[in-house]
A and B are shown apart, each in its own frame.
Chain A
């Protein structure tokens, strides 16, 4: 099998670190260029196969110089873009530039790059619309969340995802979009992780939808597989944990209290204002009412990805089975 030289953006995030650790143990990957935004602390192991770079990701020129400088010299053939703004508090043009325009620039540069042949883009399940009349098991063709009232956090992600999808097949560049389930870990932009940070979790009265969560190990395994695969396309990457909202709260050792929807909305708005938490109830309202979990059959068939690392839940729940 052909060896790969890989460039990873978002290397300072827990997913980036987990992925680099995995790729360092992969003999098919020769060189790794780890890129993170300026000011982000990098705690990567010293390794002769690993080179680190800190640049201002939203600056086109810096990105261009990196790709056509160090990346070209290192004969990088796979670019993994796993960098985005996670905070729901940060909004505006700068965030849009980071989340969307950076993807556009990366696509432009990669398409005319002499060595990059493959782009792996980290998208998420949040791009999908969850609705009562839509399938509970969401395939790759599931409708995207184009709701006009969706917050920028969602809109940016949908736009970046669609942009990557529309460029597939238009050049020599092979594009893989990985729509991953929510990674229930800190520093991965997980809304649910933030939701579980308080001892009491309010949830909508009368509803208990199924949720699916991914671990960093499974997410990095999926990216690793997409580096070596030959196919391009969109792939859903579900996790090994599928369980109802109430069970997830229990297993995290929290107390779940069902309250009417409007009360939950009000309480979480107050919490967001007072605690500066990232969880936005309005953004997750439908997900907290209706089941919408990823159907990973395509990834299983083509990438041979099967989730195999369940979450190590902090609390064992005796009455689970």
Chain B
């Protein structure tokens, strides 16, 4: 991936609306000296990303989101969301939604599974848009730098689960809870409704996945995602730092309890979304 930044910016500007374009002019990031941050984020690629996700966000998936008041305009925080749909469109829609609903606009840093940075083109493109590999050290560095993180605690099992298990949360990993306690940052639960039905799969092939260096490859029924409507719900921040000390991050019981609390809040948001929506496509 060697799209020059000025071409990325030009394309992004062509694809973005005027209001989004002027909003992105206020974007702040930590320039490491050549217009990129240390992890590879470049503002021109944020414009590019915002441009190419605009049409799916506005027209195809017609994203509706609520609870923006819970998104912090500054300081470190973790967005913990459910993950589904066989391809990570939910991550892209959430990324775009946060960019739109924060002032000044914030780039939510997606924490990806280890195989993502190893994917040719995709790894680099995502890194330019703010994604980082999911190692503990990377997450720690970002939290210390006051960044907003997007974590899918279910991991790959969440996104590749069979259609019959839709909206059933997989076991939440506890890393996000541990980091939130240690670094005293809030966890904002996020429920995404709609992504589960975008690309139903017949089954997921772990053997094929192993051959390609990823966990599993879903075999979808349709060759392209369906135009489902996305609903994104931001819940009230879980301020783990109020009652806990940093040292509590080493207590497995407390960490598991907080992860369970986050899972419970995400499940409530999903249930609320399922109750409120009038149909999959409307």
Question: What residue in chain B is nearest A242 (Cβ atoms)?
Answer: B32
Do A247 and B39 touch across chains, with their CB atoms under 8 A apart? no
Q: Would you give the 0/1 interface string for B1-30, flagging 1 where the beta carbon is closer than 8 Å to chain A?
A: 110111100000000000000000000000
Q: Does A18 contact B (CB under 8 A)?
A: no
Q: Does A86 contact B (CB under 8 A)?
A: no
Secondary structure call for the A interface: loop
Chain A residues whose CB sits within 8 angstroms of the CB of B7 once the complex forms: 319
Please state if A310 and B117 are interface contacts (CB–CB under 8 Å). Answer: no
Q: Mark B110-146, 1 if CB is under 8 A from A, else 0.
A: 0000110111110110010000110111100100000
User: By the criterion CB–CB under 8 Å, are B120 and A206 in contact?
Assistant: yes
Given contacts A135-B137, A291-B39, contact A241 B5 (CB under 8 A): no
Q: How many residues of A contact B (CB 8 A)?
A: 33
User: Within the assembled complex, what's the spacing in Å between the Cα atoms of A243 and B39?
Assistant: 10
With contacts A133-B133, A206-B120 taken as known, whether A243 is within 8 angstroms of B1 at the C-beta atoms is no
What residues of chain B lie closer than 8 Å to A289, measured between beta carbons? Answer: 118
Shortest beta-carbon distance, B215 to chain A, in Å? 13
User: With A242-B32, A320-B35 as given contacts, are A135 and B5 in contact (CB-CB < 8 Å)?
Assistant: no
Query: Could you say which residues of chain A place their CB within 8 Å of the CB of B279?
Result: none
Verify if B223 is at the interface (C-beta below 8 Å from A): no
Asked whether, in the complex, the Cβ of B39 is within 8 Å of the Cβ of A136, the reply is yes
Lowest 10 CB-CB distances: which A-B pairs, in order?
A: A206-B120, A135-B137, A242-B32, A243-B34, A133-B114, A319-B6, A246-B2, A132-B118, A321-B35, A206-B121
Q: Which residues of B contact A (CB under 8 A)?
A: 1-2, 4-7, 32-36, 38-40, 114-115, 117-121, 123-124, 127, 132-133, 135-138, 141
Task: Provide a sorted-by-A list of 30 A–B residue pairs whose CB atoms are within 8 angstroms.
Answer: A132-B115, A133-B133, A135-B135, A136-B38, A136-B40, A136-B135, A206-B119, A206-B121, A207-B1, A208-B1, A208-B40, A209-B124, A210-B40, A241-B33, A241-B34, A242-B33, A242-B34, A242-B38, A243-B33, A244-B36, A247-B36, A290-B117, A291-B40, A291-B117, A291-B127, A295-B141, A310-B33, A319-B6, A320-B35, A321-B5
